[in-house]
């Protein structure tokens, strides 16, 4: 799914109006109806809605939503600036609203004395994507007041005060939504930690924006959704053998950190690599063979990895629990100097590379690196925020011809061509040691199975997150462990196979 800028979204609305054709007021009605359908289905235990409507088209959406919710039997209070200059469509909907005697229309200033009881839902329809500068004056104070309320809060299209495409200024006042009902496509601001926290749970509602416009309009930003992975995933073929699905070698582990290699190896096995090896120090032999008997062991040292064998027919995933001791650094850099095929590099492999900027040039082209924010900073330098980090990642991916998997709440896959794919599966249960080791095993396994680097990275982060969603349903986000995530891989494959199965 593409991600469009606020300007592209507005052009998409206009294109739909001109080519469907449909009147702009009818498109607004379509958007309002989609919101009301979601609200009436999910807010059945609430009777009263307090809607805060601005003077632009977002406010027009709000007026239409208020009217439709009232027609469904809910109690409605609308807050607005009745003396404002409304957009033409907002003016029409405001006029229609005032003709309904059962809906109370109030001024914004009356909000401070309004009784927000426990069954009242607050709906923000003040600005949407139309905001170009930080809030100030009356509306800044209004949103500050609403943010103090414990009621359920829903934003329409975009939380007021939030920009669609960039980070908001420090100390800006932004509506803190529990849910955001947005239209047709994800917005970039929903997917970054500094800004996405204001949107709450995002729900994308289809309002039938022109498919021609969406197909023809170019962007470098995408969301990884079911449709994307369906196009990538290849079901296991009946007439195949272990050689069909490649050889994966996990290089990791050191004294006290063998568990990382265990997790990465198990993840590679459970995601279907034909042959899986673990290259680790001798101190991990017993636990690796006992925990992963299906994987073969290659001794790489005694208490740490001091040499790495080269197998040109295998895909290497290097880093989990590897350590950064002097002998390991030498062995790893010697390996890089003599191995030309793409690798998957994580954790201590990245930490060793970051010790000297010249080391980055040793990474084979088309390799996949999977840094978390601190590892990325050590490799390429600090940035002001995650928006700037993505831009730096794009520049470095192009410069070094790498695929960069920026691990975050919404992990980003950055390609050498400058494309950015945001993952929307997963949850905070993955914020535990060992989760990254699993991802390394998954991506290494998919790479060994002849998925391209882009495909392996995209499918890998989606798969990892989806398994975490299954795990959290059973164990909760707080209690789930990385091993629980691995145990859900079978359920993810079942789901993937159901997506691509041919209808009889």
Helices marked H in 72-112 — which ranges? 88-98
Whole-angstrom distance, CA of residue 142 vs CA of residue 109: 8
Percent of the chain with pLDDT over 70: 99
Beta-bridged to residue 403, according to DSSP, are: 368
Average pLDDT over residues 383-398: 97
Instruction: State the pLDDT at residue 132.
Output: 75
Tell me the C-alpha to C-alpha distance, in Å, between residue 412 and each of 323, 372, 391, 457.
26, 11, 11, 10
**CB-based contact 419:299 (threshold 8 Å):** no
Burial class, 375, CB count within 10 angstroms (exposed 0-12 / middle 13-18 / buried 19+) = buried
Among 175, 103, 178, 104, CA closest to 142: 175
Residue 232, Cβ neighbours under 10 Å: how many?
Answer: 18
Q: Residue 366: left (phi > 0), alpha (psi -120 to 50), or beta?
A: left
The single residue listed with the structure tokens 């390394």 is 440
pLDDT value at residue 470: 98
Q: Do 6-219 and 242-500 have matching folds? A: no
Strands 201-205 and 179-183: parallel
Residue range 299-320, pLDDT digits in tens: 999 999 999 999 999 999 999 9
Dihedral over Cα of 208, 209, 210, 211: its sign? negative
pLDDT, tens digit, for every residue of 403-457? 999 999 999 999 999 999 999 999 999 999 999 999 999 999 999 999 999 999 9
Lowest-pLDDT choice from 72-76, 122-126, 165-169, 348-352:
165-169
**pLDDT score, position 171:** 85
β-partners of residue 405 are: 413
pLDDT for position 390: 97
Mean pLDDT of all residues in 84-88: 95
HSE, CB side, 13 Å, CA atoms: give it for residue 411.
30
Q: What's the pLDDT at 45? A: 86
**Beta-sheet strands, E only, within 148-251:** 153-156, 179-183, 201-205, 221-224, 247-251
Tens digits of residue pLDDT in 491-501: 999 999 998 87
Domain range summary for the chain, segments of one domain joined by +:
6-219, 242-500
Task: Name the band, by pLDDT with cuts 50, 70 and 90, for residue 197.
Answer: very high
Q: Helices 258-270 and 435-448: crossing angle, nearest 10°?
A: 40
Quick one: which of 345, 343, 305 has its CA closest to 437? 345
The pLDDT of 339-351, averaged and rounded, is: 97
24-48 pLDDT tens trace: 999 999 999 999 999 999 998 898 9
HEC profile of 307-353: CCCCCCCCEEEECCCCCCCHHHHHHHHHHHHHCCCCCEECHHHHHHH
| CATH of segment(s) 242-500 | 3.40.1190.20
Q: How far apart are CA 84 and CA 34, in angstroms?
A: 27
154 sits in the region (left: phi over 0; alpha: psi -120 to 50; else beta) called beta
Mean pLDDT to the nearest integer, 206-221? 94
Cα–Cα distance for residue pair 60/93, rounded to 1 Å: 6
The fraction of the chain above a pLDDT of 90, given in percent, is: 92
pLDDT band at 131 (very low <50, low <70, confident <90, very high): confident
Asked whether the predicted pLDDT for residue 504 surpasses 70, the reply is: no
pLDDT tens for 255-268 read 999 999 999 999 99
- Which residue from 27, 130, 143 is spatially nearest to 79, judged by alpha carbons? 143
Please check the confidence at residue 502 and state whether its pLDDT lies above 70: no
**What letters, b where the CB count within 10 A reaches 16 and e where it falls short, cover 1-32?**
bbbbbbebbeebbebbbeeeebebbebbbbbb
Paired tokens of 259 = 């568990």
Cα distance between residue 387 and residue 222, in whole Å: 15
- Residue 503's pLDDT band, with cuts at 50, 70 and 90, is very low
**Model confidence at 170, in pLDDT bands (50, 70, 90)?**
confident
pLDDT at 44: 85
Our measurement of the distance from residue 60's CA atom to the centroid of its chain's CA atoms, rounded to an integer in Å, reads 30
Strand order in the sheet with 48-53: 104-107, 75-80, 48-53, 120-125, 153-156, 179-183, 201-205
CATH dotted code for 6-219:
3.40.50.10260
**According to the model, what pLDDT value does residue 500 have?**
83
Q: What is the Cα–Cα distance from 281 to 260, expressed in whole angstroms?
A: 13
**What is the longest distance spanned by two Cα atoms in the chain?**
82
Sheet holding 315-318, edge to edge: 221-224, 420-423, 412-414, 403-406, 368-369, 344-345, 315-318, 247-251, 275-280, 296-299
Confidence (pLDDT) at 60:
96
The answer to whether 210 and 196 have CB atoms below 8 angstroms apart is no
The whole-chain average pLDDT of the chain stands at 95
């Amino acid at each position: 799914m593409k991600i469009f800028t606020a300007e592209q979204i507005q052009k998409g609305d206009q294109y739909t109006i001109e080519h469907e054709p449909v009147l702009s007021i009818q498109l607004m009605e379509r958007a309002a109806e989609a919101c009301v359908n979601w609200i009436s289905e999910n807010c059945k235990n609430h009777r009263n809605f307090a809607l805060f409507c601005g003077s632009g088209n977002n406010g027009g959406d709000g007026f239409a939503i208020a009217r439709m919710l009232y027609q469904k039997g809910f109690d409605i209070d609308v807050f607005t600036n009745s003396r404002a200059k409304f957009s033409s469509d907002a003016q029409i909907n405001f006029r229609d609203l005032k003709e309904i005697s059962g809906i109370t229309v109030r001024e914004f200033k009356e909000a401070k004395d309004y009784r927000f009881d426990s069954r009242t839902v607050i709906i923000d329809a003040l600005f949407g994507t139309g905001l170009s500068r930080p809030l100030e004056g009356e509306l800044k104070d209004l949103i500050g007041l609403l943010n103090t309320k414990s009621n359920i809060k829903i934003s329409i299209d975009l939380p007021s005060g939030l920009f669609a495409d960039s980070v908001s200024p420090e100390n800006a006042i932004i509506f803190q939504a529990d849910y955001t009902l947005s239209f047709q496509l994800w917005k970039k601001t929903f997917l970054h930690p500094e800004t996405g926290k204001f949107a709450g749970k995002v729900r994308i509602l289809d309002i039938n924006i022109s498919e021609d416009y969406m197909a023809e309009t170019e962007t470098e930003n995408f969301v990884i959704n079911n449709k994307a992975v369906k196009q990538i995933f290849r079901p296991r073929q009946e007439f195949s053998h272990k050689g069909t699905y490649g050889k994966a070698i996990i290089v990791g582990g050191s004294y006290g950190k063998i568990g990382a290699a265990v997790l990465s190896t198990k993840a590679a096995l459970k995601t279907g690599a034909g042959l899986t090896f673990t290259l680790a120090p001798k101190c991990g032999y017993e636990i690796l063979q006992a925990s992963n008997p299906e994987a073969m062991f290659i001794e790489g040292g005694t208490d740490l990895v001091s040499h790495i064998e080269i197998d040109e027919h295998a895909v290497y995933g290097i880093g989990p629990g590897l350590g950064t001791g002097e002998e390991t650094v030498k062995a790893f850099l010697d390996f890089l100097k003599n191995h030309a095929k793409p690798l998957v590099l994580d954790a201590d492999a990245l930490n060793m590379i970051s010790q000297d900027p010249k080391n980055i040039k040793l990474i084979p082209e088309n390799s996949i690196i999977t840094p978390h924010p601190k590892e990325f900073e050590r490799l390429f330098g600090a940035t002001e925020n995650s928006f700037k980090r993505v831009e730096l990642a794009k520049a470095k991916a192009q410069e070094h011809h790498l695929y960069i998997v920026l691990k975050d709440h919404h992990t980003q896959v950055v390609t050498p061509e400058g494309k950015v794919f945001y993952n929307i599966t997963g949850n905070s249960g993955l914020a535990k040691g060992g989760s990254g080791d699993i991802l390394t095993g998954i991506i290494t396994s998919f790479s060994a199975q002849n998925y391209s680097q882009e495909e392996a990275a995209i499918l890998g982060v989606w798969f990892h997150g989806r398994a975490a969603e299954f795990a959290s349903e059973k164990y909760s986000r707080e209690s789930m462990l990385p091993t629980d995530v691995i145990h859900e891989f079978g359920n993810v494959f079942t789901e993937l196979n159901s997506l691509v199965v041919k209808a009889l």
